[in-house]
Amino acid sequence: SSPTMGRAMGLAGLLLGLVVVPAVLVSTSLRHGAPRTEAEAEPSGWELAAGAVPEDSLWPLPQRVSTYPRQLQLAPSRFQLVHGAGSSAGPGCGLLQDAFRRYYEYMFGHSWRRTRGRRPLAARAEPELLQLQVVIEARDPGCDRHPHLTSSEAYHLTVTEPVAILKASEVWGALRGLETFSQLVHEDDYGSFLVNESEINDFPRFAHRGVLLDTSRHYLPLKSILTNLDAMAFNKFNVLHWHIVDDQSFPYQSISFPELSDKGAYSSNLIYSPTDVHLVIEYARLRGIRVIPEFDTPGHTQSWGKGQKDLLTPCYKGGRPTGSFGPVNPVWNTTYDFMTVFFKEISSVFPDEFIHLGGDEVDFSCWKTNPEVKEFMKKQGFGTDYAKLESYYIQHILDIVSSYNKGQMVWQEVFDHKAQLKPDTVVQVWMANNYAHELSSVTGAGFTAVLSAPWYLDYISYGQDWKKYYSVEPLNFPGSEKQKKLLIGGEACLWGEFVDATNLTPRLWPRASAVAERLWSSSNVTNLEDAYKRLANHRCRMLRRGIAAEPVFVGYCAHEAR
């Protein structure tokens, strides 16, 4: 089946505007690249052009969208994003002021018509949209606060002449609404900015929508992290799970224990200073993104031992230390003294109410060789069940962190090995094998869960794998209504074994966008053909905004990456 390529060839300008629908062509056979079946599923780019509708550009798809045929014009030199009358936020709200400027840039940035220029040669008949007024309704808009799990991200957007109104309870909803509004504005063939009259009522399906970055397997320069936060905001992600240290390197510069990064970072320039960390947290905050740091223990801690003597367990062979080390030593008091001071610092540096404590993949073999550990096991009556020792350790850490009024997130093993968790501990389910069953267990035991298992984006494969991430239905597990409410969201994970600044952005985007929509949009938004259309447009838009997102499939964007 060969598509009609004919006349529409070369037609770049489309009603859809800013974003040019990529020319997706079904070739007679794509065995030189994509398998045949894949090719046939795609719609032809040319047929799309004629019937393009404003919603073709929205990602993630809002809960309720109504667009009307009537269009309004925007003049870059006159259009403004302003605080509306009755808003609890005003010019003093730095977060919104910043957002106004940012979104103006995104909408008109590439346009040279921002200064007052000649009168339009052929003025369009459409009425002009002069403003988008933002009205924050809660008494405390949240301008100077940090977003948290229960923040309201809902918004109501009405686009009609002469002004559009964006209402939200808190600034976080306004940020989401600004992103959506910027996705509605498009250009016509002549470069005029247009927006269709619309009414949108939106809110996220899940409250925890995260991306995990790993800065231990490879150091990620600050710029890389900040660019990623921008991309996250374009996709309405609201959590950066910063897996900041691990076995391979310890880039976090601790004030209490400077030796940790002095000795544990890959090199002295590959670190995150306190200023760097503050910058990330504030940059994220301005985009409504929480930063949850993960200091993973007792496993995954080899790099900690370089700068902190007597923290890790010395492994033994034939009655003598071998010189290598295992997980954090759970039997020494000094371990807990260290952790008490360390987590005090972490609790004050990171404002989010949650800290991720890790607890995954603890290898017991070293513990089993250590005489002191073995002695301790006997004393405690743990027998040969080292999972009990792991739980003993973790519970101690959970207590420490609780005492600093922080909630805890842990990997699923902590729950699986039956540690005593606090009632509000969040369990992150990551093991791919039968994860639905794990979700049932975790929520069945009354704990909140975050899903990552099907969304390990570091596991790359050939072809349009975004479809498989998109097709996950997080609530597809056996459980009551009450249980399902305990699944608060998910995280796309980009582990760093094979990732650094050279390939992070194209590897993460737009694949993570599939997860973004799954976590924000309604459960019945599942049509892959429609998603493809919108995702391709969204990808071109991300390119325009400086995110080197990789292609979804064959085609092109009007504004290519440089």
Catalytic residue ranges: 361
Question: Which positions from 171 through 190 interact with other proteins, judged by CB under 8 A?
Answer: none
Stretch that binds other proteins, among 90-98, 338-346, 411-419, 458-466 (CB under 8 A): 458-466
Closest CB 38 distance from other proteins, rounded Å: 9
Closest CB 560 distance from other proteins, rounded Å: 7
Nearest Cα to 231, choosing from 517, 508, 560, 520?
508
Closest CB 161 distance from other proteins, rounded Å: 33
Residue number with CB closer to other proteins (379 or 562): 562
Q: What is the DSSP letter of 557?
A: -
394 binds other proteins (CB under 8 A): no
112 binds other proteins (CB under 8 A): no
Residue number with CB closer to other proteins (30 or 315): 30
CB atoms under 10 Å from CB of 162, counted, come to 10
Chain-centroid distance, C-alpha 156: 23
Candidate residues 258, 498, 522, 523; the one interacting with other proteins per rule CB under 8 A: 498
Phi/psi of residue 151, nearest 5 degrees:
-60, 150
Candidate residues 126, 458, 528, 546; the one interacting with other proteins per rule CB under 8 A: 458
Residue number with CB closer to other proteins (31 or 437): 31
325 Cβ contact list (under 8 Å, min separation 6): 302, 305, 312, 313, 314, 315, 366
Candidate residues 25, 270, 445, 475; the one interacting with other proteins per rule CB under 8 A: 25
Q: 163-168 and 155-159: which strand pairing?
A: antiparallel
223 binds other proteins (CB under 8 A): no
Q: 163-168 and 131-136: which strand pairing?
A: parallel
Candidate residues 68, 463, 482, 522; the one interacting with other proteins per rule CB under 8 A: 463
Contact 420, 391 (CB under 8 A): yes
Closest CB 475 distance from other proteins, rounded Å: 28
Report how many residues bind other proteins under the rule CB under 8 A.
46
Q: Is the dihedral of CA 542, 544, 545, 550 positive or negative?
A: positive
d(CA 290, CA 281): 8
269 binds other proteins (CB under 8 A): no
Nearest Cα to 425, choosing from 372, 468, 365, 486?
486
Per the structure block, which two tokens stand in for 197? 């009259």
Residue number with CB closer to other proteins (502 or 523): 502
Cis peptide before 60 (omega within 30 of 0): yes
Residue number with CB closer to other proteins (184 or 499): 499
Residue number with CB closer to other proteins (34 or 74): 34
Residue number with CB closer to other proteins (13 or 109): 13
Nearest Cα to 79, choosing from 58, 96, 103?
103
Closest CB 210 distance from other proteins, rounded Å: 22
Closest CB 44 distance from other proteins, rounded Å: 11
Candidate residues 18, 21, 34, 107; the one interacting with other proteins per rule CB under 8 A: 34
Chain-centroid distance, C-alpha 370: 41
293 sits in which H/E element:
strand 290-297
Candidate residues 3, 221, 351, 546; the one interacting with other proteins per rule CB under 8 A: 3
CB atoms under 10 Å from CB of 138, counted, come to 14
Q: What is the DSSP letter of 255?
A: S
- Beta-ladder partners of 271: none
Residue that has been written with the tokens 């995110």 in this structure: 547
Candidate residues 10, 69, 91, 423; the one interacting with other proteins per rule CB under 8 A: 10
Candidate residues 80, 424, 460, 527; the one interacting with other proteins per rule CB under 8 A: 460
Contact 503, 459 (CB under 8 A): no
How many CA atoms are closer than 13 Å to the CA of 92, on its beta-carbon side? Answer: 7
275 binds other proteins (CB under 8 A): no
241 sits in which H/E element:
strand 239-243
CB atoms under 10 Å from CB of 56, counted, come to 21
431 binds other proteins (CB under 8 A): no
In single-letter form, the type of residue at position 442 comes to V
Per DSSP, which regions of 366-443 are E strands? 407-411, 426-429
d(CA 177, CA 184): 11
6 binds other proteins (CB under 8 A): yes
Residue number with CB closer to other proteins (232 or 397): 232
43 binds other proteins (CB under 8 A): no
In single-letter form, the type of residue at position 273 comes to S
Closest CB 249 distance from other proteins, rounded Å: 19
Closest CB 290 distance from other proteins, rounded Å: 28
Candidate residues 462, 481, 524, 529; the one interacting with other proteins per rule CB under 8 A: 462
Residue number with CB closer to other proteins (186 or 209): 186
Per the structure block, which two tokens stand in for 1? 């089946």
4 binds other proteins (CB under 8 A): yes
Candidate residues 461, 481, 524, 529; the one interacting with other proteins per rule CB under 8 A: 461
Residue number with CB closer to other proteins (53 or 460): 460
Q: Is 546 left (phi over 0), alpha (psi -120 to 50) or beta?
A: left
Question: Which positions from 500 through 559 interact with other proteins, judged by CB under 8 A?
Answer: 502-503, 505-507, 543, 548-551, 553-556, 558
Closest CB 22 distance from other proteins, rounded Å: 8
Contact 297, 312 (CB under 8 A): no
Where do contacts with other proteins occur on this chain (CB under 8 A)?
1-7, 9-10, 12, 23, 25, 27-34, 458-464, 498, 502-503, 505-507, 543, 548-551, 553-556, 558, 560-562
